[in-house]
Structure 1
Amino acid sequence: MTETKKYVRILKAPNKASWYANKIGQVFEVERDGCTYLIRKGPHHLKAVRQEDAELIVTEKRPAEVGERVLITEKPVRKDYEIYEPVTVDNVNIYGVESYKNGRPIFLNHYEYEVIVNNEVKNEEADEMNKMLVDQAKTVFERKDDKYFGYKSRLGDIVIGGAYSYAFVVHYAKTNEDVVIIPGDVNTVTTPVCTTEEERLWKPEKTAQERRDEIVEQAKADVERLRTNNRLWRTFDITFDINRESRTVEAAAKKVFSRTAFYGTAICAPDDCFNIHIGEAIAIHRALGLEVPDEYLNAPQPTEVRVGDVVLVDSMKNIQELKVVDDGEYIGTGEYKAALTSIAVTKNLIRIIDDSRTEVGEWL
């Protein structure tokens, strides 16, 4: 049975003397609920929150699906997100989920969130915003399962109560303004759809692997550009020290004709996939005192195994690191390799731990 939890977000307080008067907007896990919500504030201490003063959030501990809302329950290292912040899932892979904030993708491991299954008390401001969107829209569809039903039409070209396909709604939203979709899940906010947002809302997003590929290529170009410019300007001589065992990359920027040097280090997180090119880009930015682009710090994890990758597999109950080789390459006895289509990769894969592929000339 799926584990569920309850949280409350403080919306208001009855008076200034209330213990949660200065905690508006904060989220607390519910110990028990009844006429009030009881919040644990110590080993032997519970405090009450009036139901009318809080929004109840019910969660399940399971992998999320695209479109679901999740509540961050582990303090993320990514500066854009905060613990107990609800976010919408845009992409899912075996390692976690991705969401967007301010137009930037950020990855969450599965252990860092819980899936929101019900908001029993809705935020009054969100309710008012949803009502305003529906009232002002020219056309409104309501989604039920895989169908979209006509809900409102000022233009007269939508049959109220008529069922429409996803393809029709996509085309209609792209060619008309002020179109609103009411999601089938009544606990999510109404989603405004208009021509100015069509690329974000309807165009298929790139996969996590495609974005990672782009980020790696960007990192390679960044490193080459910074090294070339410093060589031409005779500012710094840049070198790298790569340690695959410790999964670190150190950049040294040494002043020409001087003993002065500046250093920058990139350390791969234990659960992340190590990539030399991304590590070099992070390290060289730090060595030169430049701001590290967020895409390098929050690159999505790889989802496709390719020749040259180092993978972690569960083989005969033994965890092994194997390098992926082409199906036609001789593996040999005692060598830690696995063919691309071998059972180790296709069935026993735990995760990709290094996708640098520095020995492979071109990506496959």
Structure 2
Amino acid sequence: MTQPIYKTEKRKARVGERILITYDAYSFGFYENGDVVMVSSVLDEGIKGYGNGWLILHHEYEVIVGEHTPAPNLDEMGYDELVALSEAVMKALRTRSYKLGYDQGRFDADIEATHGTYEKSDQQKRDEIVAQAKEDVETLKMRNRLSKAFTIQVIERPKSRSVEATAKVPNSRKAFYGIAKCAPNDCFNAHIGKAIALRRALGLPVPAEYLNVPQPTEVRVGDVVRGRQANGVEFYEETIQNIKDGAYYYDDGFDFINNAELVIIDDSRTEGGA
């Protein structure tokens, strides 16, 4: 186990403080350097600790005024220790997730009490959920970097309208997987897919809003749309490059659509993926 690092002061201790043995000269084996003792009484020549009653001379210790536990060295940990650490991190993430949800609920209630309520459009609701998903993914990745519990990989697959996530335990064959696949009639969004897949890989609950997000209603630059030409003959899929005067431009910027019923099939508005 990782041992804590203590910050100490060289002075006479007070009752209730902890001391660190730094100069074991007269202990006769009853205490040794590195031992931590809680002070029960202070005498002219030294202190006594709770539970042992042995006199510890003032020059044999330093008073502990702070401590911190360094991050564990994963390369030196055994398989069982790594599994125990990963399970502890998962539990902490679940607890924090529920706490953040509760705090958000309180915040929303306060806003509603102060400003009243109004009905948001489906597009506004979707925009908020996408923003939440982006922040969710970055937060989960940041906490994992700090804990070093997993090696995380997230892969977008726009062609199959899915996202896959893997959380692998370092120096181990153990890994956890999560996948998010868009329903055929829904609009694909890679950011929401990443949040769902990553949470599933980490064993975290998936918020209901990620699974029941409203469909987009407003075509924007970067959206992939499906529609038909004005004569109603040919179906096509295009990425919108520009919107001007009611015309939706795609490809090289010269071709456009101005009389068609467009369906947004991907509003990730992100490049890359596999």
- Report the TM-score when normalising by structure 1: 0.39
Partner residue in 2 for 1:282: 196
Could you tell me which runs of 5 or more consecutive residues in structure 1 were left unpaired when the two chains were aligned.
1-197, 329-334
Partner residue in 1 for 2:176: 262
1:224 is aligned to 2:138: yes
- Number of aligned residue pairs: give it: 156
The separation in 2 between residues aligned to 1:303 and 1:219, in whole angstroms, is 19
1:311–1:321 Cα contact (<8 Å) kept: yes
Instruction: String of CA shifts for 1:158-213, please: whole Å, max 9, x gaps.
Output: xxxxxxxxxxxxxxxxxxxxxxxxxxxxxxxxxxxxxxxx97xx732111111111
Partner residue in 2 for 1:156: none
Shift of 1:299: 0.5
**Aligned partner (choices 134, 143, 164) of residue 250 of structure 1:** 164
Partner residue in 1 for 2:270: 358
SS in structure 2 opposite 1:348?
coil
Partner residue in 1 for 2:206: 292
Q: Give the structure with the higher percent strand.
A: 1
SS in structure 2 opposite 1:349?
coil
2:240–2:250 Cα contact (<8 Å) kept: no
1:324–1:338 Cα contact (<8 Å) kept: no
1:210 is aligned to 2:124: yes
The separation in 2 between residues aligned to 1:302 and 1:341, in whole angstroms, is 23
1:324–1:340 Cα contact (<8 Å) kept: no
Partner residue in 2 for 1:312: 226
1:273 is aligned to 2:187: yes
**Aligned partner (choices 153, 171, 174) of residue 239 of structure 1:** 153
1:311–1:349 Cα contact (<8 Å) kept: no
Instruction: String of CA shifts for 1:29-84, please: whole Å, max 9, x gaps.
Output: xxxxxxxxxxxxxxxxxxxxxxxxxxxxxxxxxxxxxxxxxxxxxxxxxxxxxxxx
Shift of 1:349: 2.8
Shift of 1:359: 3.7
The separation in 2 between residues aligned to 1:292 and 1:298, in whole angstroms, is 11
Q: Give the structure with the higher percent helix.
A: 2
Could you tell me which runs of 5 or more consecutive residues in structure 2 were left unpaired when the two chains were aligned.
1-111
For the pair shown, which has the larger CA radius of gyration, 1 or 2?
2
Shift of 1:313: 1.1
The separation in 1 between residues aligned to 2:173 and 2:146, in whole angstroms, is 19
1:227–1:237 Cα contact (<8 Å) kept: no
1:275–1:354 Cα contact (<8 Å) kept: yes
Query: Aligned-pair RMSD on alpha carbons?
Result: 3.0
Partner residue in 2 for 1:321: 237
- Report the TM-score when normalising by structure 2: 0.52
Deviant stretches of 4+, over 4 Å: 338-341
Shift of 1:284: 0.6
Partner residue in 1 for 2:12: none
Instruction: String of CA shifts for 1:296-326, please: whole Å, max 9, x gaps.
Output: 0001110111000000011241110000002
SS in structure 1 opposite 2:160?
coil
Partner residue in 1 for 2:74: none
Read off the aligned partner of 2:262 and give its amino acid letter.
I
